[in-house]
Amino acid sequence: MTNDDRTKTNGVIVRESPYGMQREPTFSGILSFMRRKYSKDIDGAELVVSGIPFDLAVTYRSGARFGPQAIRLASAEIASTTPYPWGFDPFENLAVIDFGDCFLDVHNPLTIPQAIIEHARHILASGARMLTFGGDHYITYPLLKAHAEKFGEPLALIHFDAHSDTWPDDSPDSLNHGSMFYKAIKDGLIDPKHSVQIGIRTWNDDFMGMHILDAAWVHRHDTDAVVAEVERIVGNRPAYFTFDIDCLDPAFAPGTGTPVCGGLSTAQALSIIRGFSMLNLIGMDIVEVAPAYDHSQITALAAAHIACDLICLLAKRKAEK
């Protein structure tokens, strides 16, 4: 690295284009996701990364408000090399920025759902797609509202989780990270006939017509079978992707609010996601990373790798068009 090159580090600040990777020390600098440029100017961006640091809807351990920070920190290591197994720079032909975090007035919790909707509307109106870091899983509900409004409802849902999150809750003002998809189905935001939940291992008396590939099913089958089944269910419909990090077994993701034993390994999850190149992903989120309960960043690293693979999927799909 020359002296001139050294003056150009901290690409998050000085980067002039949303394209391309820039090698920087993994242990220093301002932390955007994968060293993308921080910007509120989304003109020309094809994918906007942002955080929603909200965890007031949890039923057990709080702390997911620190998830976006933790995922960005963990992503610095991934940004130091060409992503594996893709073998290409996803930012060469996909314009990605980090928008920062959605502002939330936590002292007025009932204003938060609309704040998230407006945050998403602003980004989606530019024509960009969203990759969002939670925060607890409640954030997916207002995000689905904005995406269904943009892309037409109902959407297909691809949902990785230990929990179905379809427990009944008919209170219009309830903030609950266990009932978002109950409400989303009731609201007509998602079509359960073309939606799939992967890794489930908690009981619910009513899965509301969703296709369930529970953790035991995933363990009995190889990852290619999971991909094939998801493709059969979803097809090429506009699909929203949501990954609750507690889909992973606590051995691979201890840093979360409601861990459940018997889950997927990180390797299984990444292998499945890498097979989704045929799916039409119109929005994505990764939620429930709670770094206070993490060990050696393994949960945040898993989330960052999932996010990187999602970006590579979009870049690959664009290149093949």
The answer to whether the beta carbons of residues 174 and 148 sit under 8 Å apart is no
Token pair, residue 248, equals 């992973």
Answer yes or no: is 98 a known binding residue. Answer: no
Provide the phi-psi class of 30: left if phi over 0, else alpha when psi is between -120 and 50, else beta: beta
The answer to whether the beta carbons of residues 138 and 62 sit under 8 Å apart is no
Closest by CA to 269, choosing from 240, 237, 230, is 230
The answer to whether the beta carbons of residues 195 and 211 sit under 8 Å apart is yes
Across 226-312, the runs of DSSP E, i.e. the strands, are 238-244, 280-287
Answer yes or no: is 163 a known binding residue. Answer: yes
Answer yes or no: is 161 a known binding residue. Answer: yes
Amino acid at 272: I
Rounded-to-10 torsion of CA 158, 161, 162, 166: -60
Answer yes or no: is 165 a known binding residue. Answer: yes
Which long-range contacts does 208-217 make (Cβ < 8 Å, 24+ apart)? 208/166, 208/181, 208/182, 209/185, 210/157, 210/159, 210/164, 210/166, 210/181, 212/164, 215/162, 215/262, 215/263, 215/264, 216/262
Does residue 116 sit in helix, strand or coil?
A: helix
Q: Which residue has the tokens 């709670």?
A: 290
Q: Which residue has the tokens 């003109």?
A: 43
Decide: residue 14, CB within 10 A, 0-12 exposed, 13-18 middle, 19+ buried.
exposed
Amino acid at 147: H
> Which residues are known binding-site members?
137, 161, 163, 165, 244, 246
> Which residues are known binding-site members for Mn(2+)?
137, 161, 163, 165, 244, 246
